[in-house]
Structure 1
Amino acid sequence: MEHPQRRRRATVHDVAVEAGVSRGTVSRLLNGQRYVSDEARQAIEAAIVKVGFVPNRAARSLVMRRSQAIGLIVHEPHSLFVEDPNIGSILLGANETLSEADYQMATLIADSARDIARLGNYLSGGLIDGVIIVSAREGDAITRAVTRLDIPAAYVGHPRDIGDAAYVAIDNRSAAAAITTRLRETGRSRIGMIAAALDRDSGADRLAGFTDALGETFDPSLVESVPLYSYGDGQAGMRALLARHPDIDGVFASSDAVAAGAMDILQAAGRRIPADVGVVGFDDSSWAMRCDPPLSTVRQPAGDLGRAAAAAVLRQVEGAPAPGGGTVLDCPVVWRSSA
């Protein structure tokens, strides 16, 4: 049986012959260099289509010393990566911006010390041109590796030890204070908080905002700390608060997933929402509309955070200096019937 002959792959030489230009002119255009006339560019682009030329990305990367890839590092457990819709929205927003710039996104999850050590080796290999870092903690080994290797980087959030590195964030403290104040204005007098993720800036700032809003009436025994922004931690935190303070009449949960877990525990205990207990969350994620009643919350623009972080990294990859500061996006309160 005869096998059909495999079609020869078109080369830069084929494009140059078809376009009537030199190979050097074709190479300059493919490598993004200047000094290619509009007439030559149009002829080359038409020739590429006609001969079916596909650029060799690996070879181009060697010439340009770029991989055309940006890493998005999520420092969260695998379970939260799947459960938290904010992470997905950040990822999609970043990918949109990178795709428009013809960059590939490599998603990297750091769940353990072994993951972090592996990531350090990966980052040093020159396989990516820059990184977007989500959920970094102060003293994070990933931050140390990025700083040591001098990789273009942007953080989603604002850990206090990143110096003048680029970051994109929201004002967690002011937003937490605003929604706590509004909850208090509904007549609640025993307001507690399920405070998640206090090892990172977002969690610590939301607790600070809650404290600001309550002022002299703040009672630390009405705060229950939990490790993660997760539904299960919301359940655990609410059980602990109810055991200590059965008279609680308001709850600020530091994420929508935490609020959903808290609401299920309250309702299982016979507490009506909002008649007996008002509940508010943070994020305005898909969790908020799964709740019954729908959750009052803070709208976090997760997709915009991802897009802005990707843009900040690309500017650095293209040679612009690190901006020496951050971008803070608006995050309004969204009031629904849970409070």
Structure 2
Amino acid sequence: MARDSTRPRRATIHDVARVSGISRGTVSRVLNGERYVSDQARVAVEAAVKEVGYVRNTAARNLVTQRSRAVALVVHEPHSLVLEDPNIGNILLGTNAVLSEADYQMVTLILDSQRDSDRVAEYLRGGFVDGAIILSARSGDPIALAIAQLGIPAAFVGHPTDTPDVPFIGIDNTAAARGITERLMATGRRRIGMIAAALDRDSGSDRLSGFTLALGDAFDPDLVVRYPLYSYQTGVDGMRELLERAPDIDGVFAASDAVAAGAMDVLREWGRSVPGDIGIVGFDDSSWALRCTPALSTVRQPADALGRRAAQQVLDQLAGAEPPSGGTLLDTEIVWRDSA
């Protein structure tokens, strides 16, 4: 096949050496950021790079180093929820900030089906990334198990119980949920329900556990409704179900701020005042909390810091550090506003 003569030739390290008048070996040391290069040589090489339009051939370099300089962020959520949930966005931004500073590329992989899981598992086995951060992993999740089996540097945001050898960054969802439920009880509410979500992962099941512990003997299983996702629609459907089960309900713990926002819109439709008739609290302190009217009482979790710490955990492992046993829990805070 004839070569396309219209395609511009890619500048090479030889071009940089020729224009700068510096040996190829010295040019290579400058481009790799090595020490023991004179300031004069460095200036000459940098000027030549600009003149010839040299761009480092990352693919070739990766073949030599056996590194892709990429880390996967694997998100186990439907595409619609990734766009809706500000917490996911903040985790993503925190992760990317740390990886970018270290000159690593973040590769975002969203799992919305079993086909996605199979495809991504095969991608990870292909060596296209040096490490992985897993967000919203479920118990028995095939991607989490594949990563544990591969032994690549990895960290979870959250803590699936069946992959104990992979470090994690998270929060104490049980204690946080218990604390905000007790605060809601202290306002005098006696018929408190919960719109529970995502019970197939640690965050959802732990928030339900904290709610149950807070209520103690007053816990009524009929005042808990269960849904698969932390979404606005979960709040809409869940609040309607709670009102139909218990018209006298006077308090609600929603498993996330998005869930709380949907619930509050239903209460408005049903002519119930917040907090006059029903006090409601959420979880996350995301932008959803401030969109609500009245503003939502909630648990603030450090989404950006979760992403940053998980990324740093993977980078530390790539640098040769031993992964820590167990995990790291970051602090949360109850933010009390007018909804309760």
- TM-score (norm: length of structure 1): 0.93
1:31–1:60 Cα contact (<8 Å) kept: no
Which runs of no fewer than 5 residues in structure 1 stay unpaired? none
Q: Which deviates the most, 18-27 or 242-251?
A: 18-27
Distance 1:319 1:10 in 2: 34
Corresponding residue for residue 127 of structure 1: 128
Partner of 2:72: helix, strand, or coil?
strand
Corresponding residue for residue 93 of structure 2: 92
2:29–2:37 Cα contact (<8 Å) kept: no
Partner of 2:285: helix, strand, or coil?
coil
Question: How far does the alpha carbon of each residue in 1:197-223 deviate from its partner, in whole angstroms, 9 at most, with x for none?
Answer: 010000011111111211222111111
Partner of 1:287: helix, strand, or coil?
helix
> What is the Cα deviation at residue 338 of structure 1?
0.4
> What is the Cα deviation at residue 47 of structure 1?
4.1
2:148–2:166 Cα contact (<8 Å) kept: no
> What is the Cα deviation at residue 190 of structure 1?
0.8
> What is the Cα deviation at residue 76 of structure 1?
0.9
1:195–1:207 Cα contact (<8 Å) kept: yes
> What is the Cα deviation at residue 184 of structure 1?
0.7
**2:284 maps to 1:283:** yes
> What is the Cα deviation at residue 309 of structure 1?
0.9
1:294–1:336 Cα contact (<8 Å) kept: yes
Corresponding residue for residue 145 of structure 2: 144
Cα 1:185–1:38 change in 2 (3 A) is farther
Corresponding residue for residue 170 of structure 1: 171
Partner of 1:88: helix, strand, or coil?
helix
Distance 2:200 2:282 in 1: 19
Matching residue's letter, 1:125: G
Aligned residues: 335
Cα 1:30–1:61 change in 2 (3 A) is farther
2:148–2:165 Cα contact (<8 Å) kept: no
> What is the Cα deviation at residue 133 of structure 1?
0.6
Distance 1:109 1:87 in 2: 11
Corresponding residue for residue 273 of structure 2: 272
Corresponding residue for residue 312 of structure 2: 311
Correspondence list, 1:1-339, <5 A: 8-19=9-20, 21-31=22-32, 36-37=36-37, 39=39, 41=42, 44-339=45-340
Matching residue's letter, 1:61: N
Q: Which deviates the most, 203-212 or 309-318?
A: 309-318
2:298–2:334 Cα contact (<8 Å) kept: yes
Partner of 2:217: helix, strand, or coil?
helix
Distance 1:115 1:9 in 2: 36
- TM-score (norm: length of structure 2): 0.92
Distance 1:181 1:307 in 2: 31
Partner of 1:270: helix, strand, or coil?
coil
Distance 1:132 1:251 in 2: 33
1:29–1:36 Cα contact (<8 Å) kept: no
Of all paired residues, the percent bearing the same amino acid is: 64
Question: How far does the alpha carbon of each residue in 1:227-249 deviate from its partner, in whole angstroms, 9 at most, with x for none?
Answer: 11011111111111111111110
Q: CA RMSD in A?
A: 2.0
Q: Which deviates the most, 193-202 or 94-103?
A: 94-103
Distance 1:26 1:320 in 2: 31
Cα 1:10–1:337 change in 2 (3 A) is same
Question: How far does the alpha carbon of each residue in 1:49-88 deviate from its partner, in whole angstroms, 9 at most, with x for none?
Answer: 4543211111111111111111111011122112111111
Cα 1:28–1:183 change in 2 (3 A) is same
Distance 1:77 1:52 in 2: 42
